[in-house]
Amino acid sequence: MKAQFKKLLRRFRPRPAPPAPRPPASADPAFAERKRRKLERIRPLLVGDIPEVGMHFYDFLTPELRTQFNIADTDNVSAHDYDGDAQAMIAECPDGLLLDCGAGLRNTYFDNVVNFEICDYATTDVRGVGERLPFRDGVFDAVFSFNVLEHVRDPFACARELVRVLKPGGRLYCVVPFLQPFHAYPHHYYNMTAQGLANLFADSIRIEKQEVNTGGMPIFMLTWVLRRWAEGLPDAARREFLAMQVSDLIGDPLALIDRPFVKDLAEASRFELAATTSLFARKPG
């Protein structure tokens, strides 16, 4: 009886409050001065007509590049922390420079990391497109590309640029999705197998290893798909879907094709989670 009571207490024990949100990097009183010093350090590495610094970054995102590479403004904000491997690489180059290509909005602003973006985040140092990096050859000790190559119009060109700006002996750390649903920032062109990712770099760099890191474990794909599927259903179909067991879902898909949780899925959700998509076209006469 005592053990049962303890279990009941544990069940209804108040949950600890979530941690307070971390202040943005730009809230640091020294942020503006640190950024100014970094931009001065970056300037000799740039090529072409070097723009004047606008609000807080070098802006190479010309109207021509916007059109050529289908760059569109977006309200989506990518903001993630570095994993342990990336943090170790940053710590190994205290006096060097690393390029974070497609950095997003960074919660931590490192003096030795150049944040390259298409968006004008507070932590952006240089704005442009990955297919035309505005840096000289061989200037970075390491290059990061985290969940970016699926969003660029020409990943082969972007891969060549990532290698071009690396110093001899420099290190590349690249992550791309394989089985992830459609997610536009603002566009989503290509997912890749491990072989596809290796193929982008096979002719230009020596690949040391490939792995599935913690953030890429299959459970993230599974929970993402199931959550978004449920959110794309009307109420009755959602309740039916959420009541199903895994064993109900791993049989013959054709046996489920007329069930409400399949046929009533919203069209946007069908595209987001599709096994395949189709295209019909006609060549102009």
174-191 confidence digits (pLDDT tens): 999 999 999 988 899 999
Q: Residues in the chain with pLDDT < 70? A: 1-22, 54-55, 282
* 9 found inside a domain: no
Two structure tokens written together for 246: 């895994």
CATH of the domain at 52: 3.40.50.150
Q: Which strands, in side-by-side order, build the sheet including 58-59?
A: 58-59, 126-127, 113-117, 98-101, 140-146, 166-175
126 has which bridge partners? Answer: 58, 116
Indicate the number of domains in the chain: 2
Extended strands (E) in 118-195: 126-127, 140-146, 166-175
- Find the domain containing 110 and state its range: 25-215
| Measured distance CA(188)–CA(195) in Å, rounded | 19
Task: Name the pTM for this structure.
Answer: 0.86
Q: Assess whether 208 and 266 both reside in one domain.
A: no
The 10s digit of each residue's pLDDT in 239-251 is 999 999 999 999 9
Q: How far apart are CA 121 and CA 159, in angstroms?
A: 23
Whether 82 and 196 map to the same domain: the answer is: yes
Locate the DSSP E strands across 34-165: 58-59, 98-101, 113-117, 126-127, 140-146
Question: Domain check: are 120 and 58 in the same one?
Answer: yes
Neighbours of 201 (CB within 10 A): 17
